[in-house]
Structure 1
Amino acid sequence: MTDFSCDVLIVGAGPSGLILALCLSMSGVSVRIIDKEPVHRVGRRGAGITPRTLEIFQTLGVLDDVLKLAHNPVPFQSYKLPEGIEPEKTWDMAPTLEPTPACPFRNSMFLGQDQVESILRERLKPYACAVELGTELIGFEQHDDRVCATISVAGAEEEINVKYLVGADGAKGIVRNQLGLSFLGQTREEDHLVMSDVIIEDLDSEHVHLWTQVDATILVWPGQTETNLFSVQLAGTKLERQKLASDPDELRAFFRTHTGRAVRDIIWVSEYIPNIRMVDEMRKDRAFLVGDAAHVHSLFGGQGMNAGVQDSYNLGWKLAGALLGLTSLDLLSTYSEERLPVIAEMLNKTSELQAKALESRTLNDISRWKRSKSLDQLGINYRWSSIVVEESRTSRYTDEVVTGDRAPDAPGLVEIEDGGGIVKRSLFQIFSYTVHTVLIFFPPAELSVVSGILRFLADFPQKGIIHPVVIYPAGFKIQGNGTDVVLCDRYGHAWRAYDVPADSVHCVVVRPDGMVGAKVAGVPGLRKYFDIIFRDRH
């Protein structure tokens, strides 16, 4: 019998690797996560957090910790030249939107990637899953039933067997290279940047600061207000990038000359050459790729870290289901099927933003720094997926939710307790990463049909993986039997969000990753969906 070190070995402890480790650990899967770096990385790389990622953080239980440290978007401010001291223009990068019942998060937040990673590592502690620093993957061999990996710890090599391996080890990582997967795209040498985190004491944190001169564009993003930390990006065709990145005095002098401000301390600095690349397959047998190991984006648009988070969120429930014997092994092939089209579209968007930002050298052209709400990732969908089921579309609303879409929230739901008290709930409080939530919408006259649906769902041997939630309209009083969640949609938010008919029973299945897996009328449609998910498992 093979001695397994763990179920899944994750190589790389950035946000993508940590999110996957958390998703799997929450599902009851044993995980080891290793990183070849001897210490945790510092730096605000990938500081933008999209609304969809905030929703994911809520489901995974880290949102409150993120919001304690994150800050809201601030306006851009440019300066009169050549002195660079007096402000000239101020504008917003994107409009600030109010929350809606379906979308409680409408605006991006900003938090350094190093701080996000710290929060995720802390969240993993209850699962006894700690990042193993200074531990490097040397190589691996795939077999029918396992992956045999060679890792190095403090120079000593060790062979371990795992059931699956996931490369979250970045664009230059070993996993993709050893798998022999393509990484097609382009390297834009002409858009070579210098990036740094610095301490500047005479600059406010209420703006993103911009200086554009003939030979350079300098962009300064606020970081931690209490420490006067800022992230600096330097671009320009005549920049001596290597000298600026290697000589602190050169960087300080350049910054003072072009902005009139002084850099006190330099936390880190490096050159950055934009790569825009992606694989054509995110899985090979028992090995998978997430995040930068599978796709690298321009930093313009802030999609990179967020896309990696969504990779892991999509893969985690499928991998856990396969390992725990709950779902079909065929689900694993849908990881690439669902994610690759999304990544391709994101790369196109961020590439357009980069070209727009760096090709113009006119300070008055503020349009190059504006962002559309399409970057919030709330519209990401898997409508083409082979594992979604939809019997019909009612199309009563222009923003109708269909299968493969993100599942919207609905607040103001009321649960009536046995003693007559009420508990206010929202769907986002109910959704869980470890279950398929079946929302059963019905008019009270169809209560007998609902009972049949509940009996059907209760008969599945995959106990605990299906969570039925009964939702009825305002004006009636119905209580559950102590095991079912029964909610009154007091304000109609759920009915409107999911665009279900008001005069007949309708079921919506929300997958563990918060995407709509099915919209069906009853048992036949539910059977079709779960036959796909549980194929050969019941």
Structure 2
Amino acid sequence: MTSNADVLIVGAGPAGLALALLLLKNGISVRIIEKGNSLSVGQRGATIHPRTLELYKILGILPEVEKRMVHTPDLKIFTSPEGDGPIKEVGILPFMEEQPQYHRINSYQFGQDTHQGLLRDEIAKYGCLVEFNTPLESFEAHSNSVTACISGETATFNWLVGADGARSTVRKQLGLPFHGQSHAPSLACGDIEVKGMANDLWYIWGDTSHKMLSLRSFQVDGRQLGFFMMGGAKVDTVRAAESRDNLVETLYDIIGQRSIEFGDLIACGVWKANVRMIDKFGEGRVFLVGGKCPTGGQGMNAAVQDSFNLAWKLALVHKGASPPNLLQSYSTERVPVIAAILDMSTEIMRRNFAQDKKVESSNWSRGFEVRQLGVNYRNSTIVVDQVTPTSKDENADPFRAGLDGRTRGGDRAPEAPNLIDPEGRVWSVYDFLDVTTHTILFFTPGSTFVTGYPPHFVKHWLIYPQGSSLDGDERAVVDRDGYAYKHYQVQQGETRIVIIRPDGYIGALLETEEDIPFYFRYIFSS
């Protein structure tokens, strides 16, 4: 296998694999290494939120993801030991009817082992294979390259990205310390074979003030398995995780009966919550993705969003199309988002590990914001909004402000279905987007604008209001049901130009065509 590539990615979890696929689609060669000696086993990091599904639509892999994911069941909460039946049922992520402004609105379960397997298959189509049992030993960053020592081999790359989790070797060698704290409560987590429990159920016994067990059933290759999390003030999680016998003994102790039979132990480990931050996610030619969010189903999803934010910028800079300082916006955009997610995660942990039993039974439900559809970069220095400019004293919530009912520069691009082209074909805005180009939407009746930017970097579509006739332009559509004009908050007869970035966020909201270069001056070198 060739040692050298444009980018070395350290870590083959969802963040590293997604980044590899994003870069490969942008024509950037990748080498990805993983210090572990086997494929990931287990469900950990299983919740996939709708914003991640929207991003996977743009990446082109959503149909394959949807074949493999399953719905999120409601929780049935029992006492410990179990009494006559559940004392409460909680919709942790209640199912919602689809809404046209979102490409997807519901959260699902998509086990990390399945997730990583799908992404490995996708990068393999580009001839890129994960190198297991291959740790990064050290690296040295230079002005134009990075030299890495990998299992005794020395190789040179243009860029290095650490996707190696909270204990990141890359982070430590960069000298970026964590600020924050480790939370004392720990959980034993893993997968075990189960019998006597129907598929797609989620049970919780007890509470963390004493003993608590969460058990969600699922099927893999015809086998009935359960993903468990157990802990509490009276549970020795380290001892429980030492062996299958210890684990099963603890499971039955918490449940209080043996109606469920436990078989082979598939995976087990001890997890401890950390609420810690670093001040920046990169330095020079070295960057970090993922490994920052402890709970609430946020970690994997936030990590994948890190990769989407970084990939398009890194690709443009590597190709010489964008100035190197564009990469500074990776940290300035993502650090506030992760900080806001950590604040929310801290509150979720406080409730989940509450010592007050009276509030414990309702501590598992999650608000709409956890679906990450409100994540935004309104405060970014590379975002342009001429329609509703951000004032200097405005400090938009980077995690929730995108849900305030306004469409602003830096928000996720709203979806809009039922756009009809001259051939009668039906499109949606998310059909126009991809991870290699900026997409310009012209809400401009009669516009004759033809973009002067290379088509492999920028493409455009004209969106005409309801009732319009098309003149045959293959990149023109009619907004048959009015969703595009409604969701992008454009009145008929107004001129509006929306520039959507390759990561699915609005880079610019403009009022005239002549102002398009005003946004791209931040992005392109010339």
| Shorter-normalised TM range | over 0.9
Query: Which residue number in structure 2 is paired with residue 339 of structure 1?
Result: 334
Query: Which residue number in structure 2 is paired with residue 441 of structure 1?
Result: 443
Query: Which residue number in structure 2 is paired with residue 466 of structure 1?
Result: 458
Report the Cα distance in structure 1 between the residues aligned to 2:297 and 2:78, rounded to whole angstroms.
24
Report the Cα distance in structure 1 between the residues aligned to 2:165 and 2:416, rounded to whole angstroms.
37
How does 1:29-68 map onto structure 2 within 5 Å? 29-68=28-67
- Judge conservation of contact 2:441–2:463 (CA < 8 Å) in 1: yes
Query: Which residue number in structure 2 is paired with residue 177 of structure 1?
Result: 172
Query: Which residue number in structure 2 is paired with residue 308 of structure 1?
Result: 303
Letter in 2 for 1:197: D
| Deviations 1:302-357 (CA, angstroms, capped at 9, x unpaired) | 00000000000000000000111222222100000000000000001011001101
2:347 aligns to what SS in structure 1?
A: helix
Give the structure with the higher percent helix. Answer: 1
Report the Cα distance in structure 1 between the residues aligned to 2:21 and 2:117, rounded to whole angstroms.
13
Query: Which residue number in structure 2 is paired with residue 123 of structure 1?
Result: 122
- Describe the shift of the 1:303–1:270 C-alpha distance in structure 2 as closer, same or farther (beyond 3 A): same
- Describe the shift of the 1:134–1:491 C-alpha distance in structure 2 as closer, same or farther (beyond 3 A): same
| Farther off after superposition, 522-531 or 303-312 | 522-531
| Farther off after superposition, 194-203 or 432-441 | 194-203
Match of 1:236 among 232, 236, 239: 232
Query: Which residue number in structure 2 is paired with residue 192 of structure 1?
Result: 186
| Farther off after superposition, 376-385 or 236-245 | 236-245
Query: Which residue number in structure 2 is paired with residue 523 of structure 1?
Result: 513
- Describe the shift of the 1:289–1:487 C-alpha distance in structure 2 as closer, same or farther (beyond 3 A): same
Query: Which residue number in structure 1 is paired with residue 476 of structure 2?
Result: 486
- Judge conservation of contact 1:198–1:265 (CA < 8 Å) in 2: yes
Query: Which residue number in structure 1 is paired with residue 317 of structure 2?
Result: 322
Letter in 1 for 2:235: L
| Deviations 1:254-310 (CA, angstroms, capped at 9, x unpaired) | 212322233222111111121111210111111000001xx2x332x1000000000
- Deviation at residue 88 of structure 1 after TM alignment: 3.3
Query: Which residue number in structure 1 is paired with residue 206 of structure 2?
Result: 212
Determine what percentage of the aligned residue pairs are the same residue. 36
- Judge conservation of contact 1:8–1:31 (CA < 8 Å) in 2: yes
- Judge conservation of contact 2:6–2:157 (CA < 8 Å) in 1: yes
Q: C-alpha root-mean-square deviation of aligned residues, in Å?
A: 1.9
- Deviation at residue 473 of structure 1 after TM alignment: 1.1
- Describe the shift of the 1:133–1:415 C-alpha distance in structure 2 as closer, same or farther (beyond 3 A): same
Match of 2:197 among 198, 203, 217: 203
- Judge conservation of contact 1:212–1:362 (CA < 8 Å) in 2: no
- Judge conservation of contact 1:72–1:110 (CA < 8 Å) in 2: yes
2:56 aligns to what SS in structure 1?
A: helix
Match of 2:491 among 484, 494, 501: 501
1:200 aligns to what SS in structure 2?
A: strand
- Deviation at residue 363 of structure 1 after TM alignment: 6.8
How does 1:69-88 map onto structure 2 within 5 Å? 69-80=68-79, 82-84=81-83, 86-88=85-87
Report the Cα distance in structure 2 between the residues aligned to 1:263 and 1:165, rounded to whole angstroms.
43
Q: How many residues align?
A: 508
Runs of 4+ in 1 over 3 A off after TM superposition: 80-88
- Judge conservation of contact 2:212–2:254 (CA < 8 Å) in 1: no
Report the Cα distance in structure 1 between the residues aligned to 2:303 and 2:217, rounded to whole angstroms.
24
Letter in 2 for 1:319: L
- Describe the shift of the 1:267–1:398 C-alpha distance in structure 2 as closer, same or farther (beyond 3 A): closer
- Describe the shift of the 1:81–1:192 C-alpha distance in structure 2 as closer, same or farther (beyond 3 A): closer
- Deviation at residue 221 of structure 1 after TM alignment: 1.7
| Farther off after superposition, 172-181 or 224-233 | 224-233
2:362 aligns to what SS in structure 1?
A: helix
- Deviation at residue 185 of structure 1 after TM alignment: 1.3
Report the Cα distance in structure 1 between the residues aligned to 2:320 and 2:167, rounded to whole angstroms.
34
- Deviation at residue 528 of structure 1 after TM alignment: 0.3
Report the Cα distance in structure 1 between the residues aligned to 2:145 and 2:37, rounded to whole angstroms.
28
Match of 1:221 among 216, 221, 227: 216
- Describe the shift of the 1:360–1:423 C-alpha distance in structure 2 as closer, same or farther (beyond 3 A): same
- Describe the shift of the 1:33–1:82 C-alpha distance in structure 2 as closer, same or farther (beyond 3 A): closer
Letter in 2 for 1:236: G
Q: Runs of 5+ in structure 1 lacking a partner? A: none
Q: Does 1:402 align with 2:394?
A: no
When normalised by structure 2's length, the TM-score is 0.93
- Deviation at residue 474 of structure 1 after TM alignment: 2.1
Q: Does 1:426 align with 2:428?
A: yes
Q: Runs of 5+ in structure 2 lacking a partner? A: 391-402
- Deviation at residue 86 of structure 1 after TM alignment: 3.2
Letter in 1 for 2:412: R
- Deviation at residue 130 of structure 1 after TM alignment: 1.1
2:114 aligns to what SS in structure 1?
A: helix
- Describe the shift of the 1:90–1:236 C-alpha distance in structure 2 as closer, same or farther (beyond 3 A): same
1:288 aligns to what SS in structure 2?
A: strand
- Judge conservation of contact 2:79–2:206 (CA < 8 Å) in 1: no
Report the Cα distance in structure 2 between the residues aligned to 1:182 and 1:426, rounded to whole angstroms.
44
